[in-house]
């Protein structure tokens, strides 16, 4: 393993630029973060609503898949045959009566049990079908969203999410209403995964031209941060009655519901973002492709009790407004790459907005302070075991 010990600056608002660029960090991140004591959301029940529905994903470099069993239970398995390890599922989602490995035709049912295997009378003396089911991951759900963790030591999901984040997250996920999947948009960002996820509240009205064109005012709101790297924004959006920049401004109409003042964004450590922006409900599952490149799957939802009009409105709004090429967010992709490129230069990236004391981690932040990202960086530093330099 390369020597990746990295000394962290004494000032809490400085991040070594090399953290985005040093390729050797990836192996450590796999071990300490992706395979460590973190929960990773994999699928909402609305993505696999029927028995036999499955969805494939990755934790770090490890292939996994979620299956809706005949008993209604959703389980998450390693995507590896219990015989010699061939992957079982090669497409991203679908429905199957069972899961057959092509190599020697072992057959697994929707509950992950080994249902059949050719030539088993010639197998080793200790072989039994019961011992060769698929390996299940530790799984817990929140509001019908299924999370997995690779570690037995990870606290239960509710404790991990914290009460402060569970509230806005529950409101993004329908607040007790069932959800319906509208579809996905998938995008590849050419940057280290941390450049993608280090987005802040400071940039939105400054970077995104549409904020100016639409005359959007930032309303009241708050930024919620936790010690374990989660961040949530809960904000009002005030939308002008008449928008001259658009011939048809119905795309930015907020039909609204009592669970939101306009915009909720939740970002759970290490890499998932949830948004309820006006009438758009979205989970951004993200998959780093090693030290460089991150694939983000935008999953869009409606509530299953929506009227046909609201359903049509959500469908139009979701990808057109806040998707990877959405009207108010399309500049993000360019910035992720530019951060990645610019940070090849030496030194530290320095956060400013909201920083009161450079030598102290402040857990009090205002709505659009970029200092809200610093507790997350501190969590990352601790997980990676990097020493902070003395002041």
Check residue 104 for interaction with ligand FES (CB under 6 A). Answer: yes
Task: Assess 103 for contact with ligand FES (CB under 6 A).
Answer: yes
Q: Does 99 bind ligand FES (CB under 6 A)?
A: no
Please check whether residue 391 is in contact with residue 242, taking contact to mean a CB–CB distance below 8 angstroms: no
Could you give the C-alpha distances from 111 to 40, 101, 266, in angstroms and in order? 21, 15, 32
104 binds, among ligand FES, Fe ion, none (CB under 5 to 8 A by kind): ligand FES
Bridge pairing between strands 262-268 and 231-238: antiparallel
The residue range among 67-75, 97-105, 187-195, 363-371 that interacts with ligand FES, by the rule CB under 6 A, is 97-105
Is residue 135 at the binding interface for ligand FES, with CB under 6 A as the rule?
A: no
Does residue 185 bind ligand FES (CB under 6 A)? no
Choose which of 86, 143, 185, 320 interacts with ligand FES (CB under 6 A): 86
Stretch that binds ligand FES, among 24-32, 102-110, 202-210, 327-335 (CB under 6 A): 102-110
Q: Is 279 in the site for Fe ion (CB under 5 A)?
A: no
CA distance 292 to 298: 19
Choice from 84, 212, 338, 387 touching ligand FES (CB under 6 A): 84
The count of other CB atoms within 10 Å of the CB of residue 100 is 15
Binding mask 53-82 vs ligand FES (x if CB under 6 A, - otherwise)? Answer: ----------------------------x-
Dihedral of the alpha carbons of 93, 97, 103, 105, in degrees to the nearest 10: 170
Q: How many whole angstroms from its chain centre is CA 299?
A: 10
Is 127 a binder of ligand FES (CB under 6 A)?
A: no
Query: What burial letters (b/e) apply to 346-385, b meaning 16+ CB within 10 Å?
Result: eebbebebbbeebeeebeebebbbbbbbbbbbbbbbebbe
Considering the complex, state which of residue 101 and residue 172 has its C-beta at the smaller distance from ligand FES.
Answer: 101
Cβ atoms 42, 137 nearer than 8 A: no
Q: In the range 316-375, which residues lie near Fe ion by CB under 5 A?
A: 332
To ligand FES, the closest distance from the beta carbon of 137 in angstroms equals 19
Cα angle 130, 67, 136 (rounded to 5 degrees) comes to: 45
Residue with Cβ nearer ligand FES (50 or 124):
124
Nearest CB to ligand FES, comparing residues 85 and 155: 85
Which one of residues 65, 106, 147, 351 is an interface residue with ligand FES (CB under 6 A)? 106
Is 89 an interacting residue with respect to ligand FES (CB under 6 A)?
no
Task: Count CB-CB contacts under 10 A for residue 41.
Answer: 21
Alpha helix positions (H), the chain? 25-29, 157-161, 163-172, 193-197, 204-207, 209-213, 308-322, 331-342, 374-384
Would you put residue 91 in left (φ > 0), alpha (ψ -120 to 50) or beta? beta
Q: What are the backbone dihedrals phi and psi of residue 207, each rounded to the nearest 5 degrees, phi first?
A: -80, -45
Q: At closest approach, how far in Å is the CB of 79 from ligand FES?
A: 12
The residue number with the shortest CB distance to Fe ion is 332
Residue among 14 and 332 whose Cβ is closer to Fe ion: 332
DSSP assigned state of 150: S
Identify which range of 101-109, 236-244, 317-325, 334-342 contacts ligand FES by CB under 6 A: 101-109
Q: Tokens in use for 224? A: 């919620």
- Which one of residues 4, 61, 69, 83 is an interface residue with ligand FES (CB under 6 A)? 83
Comparing CB distances to ligand FES, the nearer of 91 and 156 is: 91
Strand order in the sheet with 231-238: 179-189, 294-303, 280-288, 272-277, 262-268, 231-238, 217-225
- Could you say which of ligand FES, Fe ion, none residue 332 binds, taking C-beta under 5 to 8 angstroms by partner kind? Fe ion
Q: What is the smallest separation between the CB atom of 320 and Fe ion, expressed in angstroms?
A: 16
Residues that bind Fe ion (CB under 5 A): 332
Residues that bind ligand FES (CB under 6 A): 81, 83-84, 86, 101, 103-104, 106
């Amino acid at each position: 393993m390369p020597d990746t010990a990295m000394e962290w600056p004494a000032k809490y608002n400085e991040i070594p630029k090399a953290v985005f660029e040093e390729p050797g960090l990836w192996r450590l991140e796999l071990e300490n973060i992706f395979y460590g004591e973190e929960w990773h959301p994999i699928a909402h029940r609305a993505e696999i609503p029927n028995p036999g529905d499955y969805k494939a994903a990755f934790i770090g470099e490890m292939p996994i898949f979620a299956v809706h069993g005949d008993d209604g239970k959703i389980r998450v398995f390693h995507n590896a045959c219990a015989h010699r390890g061939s992957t079982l599922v090669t497409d991203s989602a679908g429905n199957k009566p069972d899961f057959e490995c092509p190599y020697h035709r072992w057959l697994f049912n929707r509950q992950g049990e080994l249902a059949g295997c050719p030539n088993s009378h010639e197998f080793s003396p200790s072989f039994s079908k019961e011992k060769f089911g698929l390996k299940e991951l530790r799984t817990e759900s929140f509001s019908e969203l299924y999370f997995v963790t690779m570690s037995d030591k990870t606290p239960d999901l509710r404790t991990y999410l914290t009460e402060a984040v569970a509230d806005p997250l529950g409101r993004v996920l329908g607040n007790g209403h069932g959800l319906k999947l509208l579809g996905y948009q998938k995008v590849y960002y050419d940057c280290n995964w941390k450049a993608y996820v280090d987005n802040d509240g400071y940039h939105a009205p400054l970077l995104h031209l549409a904020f100016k064109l639409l005359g959007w005012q930032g309303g009241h709101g708050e930024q919620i941060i936790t010690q374990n790297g989660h961040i949530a924004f809960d904000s009002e959006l005030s939308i002008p009655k008449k928008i001259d920049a658009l011939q048809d401004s119905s795309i930015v109409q907020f039909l609204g519901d009592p669970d939101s003042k306009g915009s909720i964004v939740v970002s759970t450590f290490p890499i998932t973002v949830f948004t309820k922006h006006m009438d758009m409900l979205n989970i951004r599952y993200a998959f780093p492709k090693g030290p460089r490149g991150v694939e983000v799957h935008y999953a869009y939802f409606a509530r299953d009790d929506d009227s046909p009009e609201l359903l049509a409105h959500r469908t139009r709004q979701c990808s057109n407004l806040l998707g990877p090429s959405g009207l108010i967010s399309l500049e993000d992709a360019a910035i992720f790459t530019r951060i990645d490129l610019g940070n090849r230069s030496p030194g530290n990236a320095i956060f400013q907005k909201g920083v009161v004391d450079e030598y102290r981690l402040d857990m009090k932040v205002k709505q659009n302070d970029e200092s809200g990202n610093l507790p997350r960086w501190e969590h990352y530093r601790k997980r990676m075991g990097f020493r902070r330099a003395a002041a």
